[in-house]
Amino acid sequence: MLEFIQLLKQRYQAVLRRMENHHPQRPAYQKHIEQLLLAEAFARKGLLLRTHPRTALQIAVIGPTQAGKSSVVNRLLRADMAGVSPLAGYTVHPHGYAHAVNREEYTGIPQYFAKFQALPEERLNREQLASFSLSECPERSPWLPAAVLWDTPDFDSIDALEYQEGLLRAIALADVIVLVVSKEKYADLSVWRVMQAIAGFRQPTLICLNKLSEDCKETLIASLGQKWRDHRVDQPPEIVPLMFKKPPLQQEWPAEYAKALPQLAGKAARGGHAERQRQWLQQHWEAWLAPVYAEHQAEHEWRLLVDACAAEGLRRYQRDYLNHPHHYQTFQQAIIKLLHLLELPVVAKLAAQTRRALTWPIRQLRRLGQEGTPLFGQEEVVLRQAGEQVLLQLADRLWDRQESGGGGFWRDAAAGLRGRREAILQAHEQAVTVYLREFQVDVASAADRLYVKLQEQPLLLNSIRATRAAADTAALMLALQAGGIGVHDLVLAPMMLTATSLIAESAIGGHMARVEAELKARQLAAVQTLFADGLQALLYDAPKHTEAGNRFNIPLAVCRQAEAKLNEKKHGIRFF
């Protein structure tokens, strides 16, 4: 599960980097990334608790900029360890302070932070945001239990997005949350958006209402409690009022709240972490996966669109060639091969010499019958035109999809189709040439089947052979008188018609019709395979061949597998 969360987060980040600033989905995607960062960190905490069960209690001090978080940390530690500044966004790294705990109780923290580098506090800098510090407190504070206290970056400044991952990791690590807000910031939407986001972690919380004056204290405390009830379903936590004091007056933790954090630490429950994680993931799962599933739905619709356009191309091929009464040539090629098989051995040598003297058309047909050289003609033209028509139809459909607001996938599909149009057409033409050449085997097989059937009818076979021999003799006489002009039309075509008519009107006429029908069926199946393995396969992948797309590219099987793990029974779930 952790690997899937990381993958989903990375894909969201990649999509967001390519997304336009004014894109309507940008705020939602940014929110999902923050939630996924929290989910990843919370899963890492579970791993930390498994591998280092004696890890010390973790307390995170969080809040908006200029709320006084670092000052509260120093108050709780009773030492000036956290750096403070009047400048907004001064703290940009998580700073951990080990209070009254042994080193063995926080040795797993660097493993939890993973890619973040542990550095001494004085070496932290803004150029290296993926880092944190962890130092020991020299003295024990009466306001704190034994714990690691974390000073964290803000979550609402202009640059907060740059260092938010360190903040979110510190929040997810925490067993206890200390929310610090000031009278100017307690009602900010950013504060309550964060508190809503982590509600499912069920971390005991203490609120510090900072920079108060006596005249507004009670009013602000009541208003703050109402804000909590407006955004959370659990009861409002204890609120510690921190009064404003001008320097150099000492900022002290209120003595009446001395036991606030030690008592809250007793409510921290690490048991059931996996179940809390499961429930939190289930709460957000549908929203996270919605654009991924939408992308797969778009891919499915794209494939259906390609299939529909390819089916139209096949129908054009059947109309303009396969079932056309004048353009269908394939069975004629089979008859030519059959006529070659019917040559009488005695006449064949003389006939061959005669044919060499004929014009180019008869020599072309002779090579078709004798050497297997395909005369592609109309079928090649129709198949190439069908491929071009498929791409034109797809381009029109894609334009309609984009005009109706179809989303990033359809823009990718259109860009991929434009960019690969020539390559797809070239590959289709090459595939057509290969098909036409290879299908000559089926044409020869049809001729062989007719010849075998004719051998069962000796009288019919001899009649056709006589026709064949007479045609060769007539060709010789006509060539002498007419110089070979028009021999294809005047000699061979009538001879083919005579031979075809003799077979069709004979006892094996039904067999001839079946051979022709079977040849057409095999031809249609071969062209369907030509489209499916060539043109359609290339078009299916067209949306992937673009750098401008907003795509997640997470396989559907991977999503389903992660979802199945999430929904396993309580004791069967594995998050790591």
Contact 33, 16 (CB under 8 A): yes
Which tokens is 173 given? 């690590």
From the list 397, 384, 386, the residue with the least C-alpha distance to 305 is: 397
Q: Are strands 131-136 and 239-243 parallel, antiparallel or unpaired?
A: unpaired
pLDDT at 77: 93
Determine the Cα–Cα distance for residues 210 and 218; give it in Å rounded to an integer.
Answer: 13
Determine the Cα–Cα distance for residues 576 and 566; give it in Å rounded to an integer.
Answer: 12
Q: 143 — phi, psi (to 5°)? A: -90, -10
Give 79's contacts (C-beta < 8 A, 6+ positions apart): 137, 138, 139, 141
Per the model's pLDDT, the better-predicted residue between 213 and 105 turns out to be: 105
Which tokens is 568 given? 């396993």
pLDDT at 35: 95
pLDDT tens-digit map of 364-401: 444 444 444 444 578 999 999 999 999 999 988 888 77
Determine the Cα–Cα distance for residues 484 and 481; give it in Å rounded to an integer.
Answer: 8
Alpha-carbon Rg of the chain, whole angstroms? 41
How far apart are the two ends of the chain, measured CA to CA in Å? 6
Average pLDDT over residues 432-440: 92
Determine the Cα–Cα distance for residues 558 and 555; give it in Å rounded to an integer.
Answer: 5
Beta strands per DSSP E along 44-130? 58-62, 95-99, 117-118
Contact 175, 58 (CB under 8 A): yes
Contact 566, 274 (CB under 8 A): no
Strand-pair partners of 147: 99
DSSP string, 500-535: HHHHHTSTTHHHHHHHHHHHHHHHHHHHHHHIIIII
- Is the predicted pLDDT of residue 119 greater than 90, yes or no? yes
Residue with tokens 């670092």: 70
Give the highest mean pLDDT range of 354-363, 377-386, 477-486.
377-386
Give 248's contacts (C-beta < 8 A, 6+ positions apart): none
pLDDT at 110: 94
Contact 134, 147 (CB under 8 A): no
pLDDT bucket at 129, cuts 50 / 70 / 90:
very high
Contact 117, 130 (CB under 8 A): yes
119: three-class secondary structure by DSSP: coil
- Is the predicted pLDDT of residue 317 greater than 80, yes or no? yes
Determine the Cα–Cα distance for residues 25 and 19; give it in Å rounded to an integer.
Answer: 9
Helix axes 509-530, 273-317, angle to 10 degrees: 140
Contact 174, 58 (CB under 8 A): yes
pLDDT bucket at 466, cuts 50 / 70 / 90:
low
SS3 labels along 532-570: HHHHHHHHHCHHHCCCCCCCCCCCHHHHHHHHHHHCCCC
Contact 148, 58 (CB under 8 A): yes
Which tokens is 548 given? 């401008």
Where residue 227 falls (left for φ over 0; alpha for ψ -120 to 50; beta otherwise) is: alpha
Determine the Cα–Cα distance for residues 52 and 106; give it in Å rounded to an integer.
Answer: 9
Average pLDDT over residues 330-339: 76
Q: Is the dihedral of CA 25, 30, 31, 33 positive or negative?
A: positive
In degrees, to the nearest 5, what angle opens at C-alpha 195 toward C-alphas 268 and 90?
A: 100
- Is the predicted pLDDT of residue 503 greater than 50, yes or no? yes
- Kindly list the structural domains of the chain, giving each domain's residue range(s) and its CATH number in brackets, ordered by start: 52-271 (3.40.50.300), 287-329+375-440+528-560 (no CATH)
Average pLDDT over residues 113-134: 92
pLDDT bucket at 498, cuts 50 / 70 / 90:
low
Give 24's contacts (C-beta < 8 A, 6+ positions apart): none
DSSP label of 56: P
Contact 476, 353 (CB under 8 A): no
Determine the Cα–Cα distance for residues 10 and 180; give it in Å rounded to an integer.
Answer: 31
pLDDT at 348: 44
- Is the predicted pLDDT of residue 352 greater than 50, yes or no? no
Beta strands per DSSP E along 496-542? none
pLDDT at 472: 53
Of 35-39, 49-53, 477-481, the range with the lowest mean pLDDT is 477-481
Determine the Cα–Cα distance for residues 546 and 18; give it in Å rounded to an integer.
Answer: 12
- Is the predicted pLDDT of residue 548 greater than 70, yes or no? no
Of 44-53, 193-202, 347-356, 447-456, the range with the lowest mean pLDDT is 347-356
Evaluate the omega torsion of the peptide bond into residue 248 and state whether it is cis, within 30 degrees of 0.
yes
The number of angstroms, rounded, from the C-alpha of 509 to the middle of its chain's C-alpha atoms is: 56
Average pLDDT over residues 12-22: 87
